[in-house]
Amino acid sequence: MITGSSLYLHEVQITGKQAEKQTNIEKTKINVSQNISSVSGNLTEILKSQPGISMDAENNLYIRGNGNILILMDGRPADNPAYSNDLEHKEYIYSAYLMYCDSILEKLYCKVGARMEYNTSELNQRVSTDKISTNHLFPLPYLLIQYAVNSAQTMALSLSRRVTRPAYPQLNSFIIVIDQFTFETGNKSIRPETADKIELNHSWIKDKFWLKGNLFCSTTRDFFMQVSLLSSDNNLMLTYVNGNNLNKTGLDVDAVPAPPSCHDYGLHF
């Protein structure tokens, strides 16, 4: 004979609790709801209670002695007036010019010159007391030789050098939030880039038609390039570095008919 039986289960409640602090190589995330210091509602007290975080008399925060940090609240930067005044950049540029030009014989024209630039640059980061000072001397020669083949054709050879200094966003070492997954930071040690260029130019004008050709070759040293690093949690960090050499060779051709007084036409390759 089979008899029935009943089994009664009491209510079971399972509760999950998020960790107070999560740390990876790029950032440390603090769950405020699990922190006892959050009762005061003071962000400063919450951060000061965390191991490895310290604060000086001017309320500047450090993580293991490093003041180059960014604080986010709910994914947005937390305002701290000290950060906006932390970087100080000074640059002084001194230059001198020398130029000579003259016509040689009847069909040959020459222009030769040079620009000498000396600049000093100083970047101070007050919080971390980092100071980077650099000095550069740039000789910038220039040469143009132009030959009139006939009344319709002209040929020219030119050599030049230019220098491009990094813009402030490329130097700024603090982290800029582009969106919730993309961040950008500068490089305090990035160097100016210099470019040497040689050009061979031919110009032909005939019956209201102008044809120009320009063959060029250039080499840029310490050129600026943007690099990216993808973190383990799929965040993208962008920054700037100097490349070694960038070589370019090309040909520009412009075909321009002589326009009426109120119109402009052109064909470019």
Q: Which sign does the torsion angle of CA 232, 238, 244, 247 carry?
A: positive
Could you identify the residue written with the tokens 């100097």? Answer: 242
Q: What is the pLDDT of residues 144-155, one digit of tens each?
A: 999 999 888 999
Q: In angstroms, how far is the first alpha carbon of the chain from the final one?
A: 100
Task: Give the Cα separation of 245 and 158 in Å (integer).
Answer: 21
In 3D space, the residue among 194, 91, 190 whose CA is nearest the CA of residue 139 turns out to be 194
DSSP secondary structure, 194-216, as one string: EEEEEEEEEEEEETTEEEEEEEE
Q: Please determine, for residue 262, whether its predicted confidence score (pLDDT) is greater than 60.
A: no
Task: Give the Cα separation of 242 and 187 in Å (integer).
Answer: 10
Q: What is the pLDDT of residues 96-115, one digit of tens each?
A: 999 999 988 888 999 999 99
- CA 166 to chain CA centroid, Å, is 7
- Residue 268 token pair: 């470019």
Q: Please determine, for residue 241, whether its predicted confidence score (pLDDT) is greater than 60.
A: yes
Specify the 3-state DSSP secondary structure of 46.
Answer: helix
Q: What is the CA radius of gyration of the chain?
A: 32
Backbone angles phi, psi at 22, to 5 degrees: -120, 130
Cβ–Cβ < 8 Å for 136, 119: yes
Could you identify the residue written with the tokens 């740390």? Answer: 23
Q: What is the pLDDT of residues 182-191, one digit of tens each?
A: 888 888 889 9
Task: Give the Cα separation of 190 and 134 in Å (integer).
Answer: 11
| pLDDT at residue 82 in the model | 46
Cβ–Cβ < 8 Å for 162, 138: no
Alpha helix ranges (H) inside the chain: 43-48, 81-84, 168-171
Could you identify the residue written with the tokens 């630039």? Answer: 117
C-alpha separations of 176 from 31, 44, 134, 237, 242 in Å: 23, 22, 25, 10, 20
Mean pLDDT across the chain, nearest whole number? Answer: 78
| pLDDT at residue 234 in the model | 80
Q: Which amino acid is at 122?
A: E
Q: Which of 157-171, 181-195, 226-240, 247-261 has the lowest mean pLDDT?
A: 247-261
What is the helix (H) or strand (E) element at residue 170, kind and residue range? helix 168-171
- CA 185 to chain CA centroid, Å, is 8
Task: Give the Cα separation of 70 and 123 in Å (integer).
Answer: 19
Q: What is the pLDDT of residues 51-66, one digit of tens each?
A: 777 777 766 777 777 7
| pLDDT at residue 224 in the model | 94
Q: Which of 78-87, 125-134, 200-209, 251-260 has the lowest mean pLDDT?
A: 78-87
| pLDDT at residue 81 in the model | 46
User: Average pLDDT in the 194-207 region?
Assistant: 92
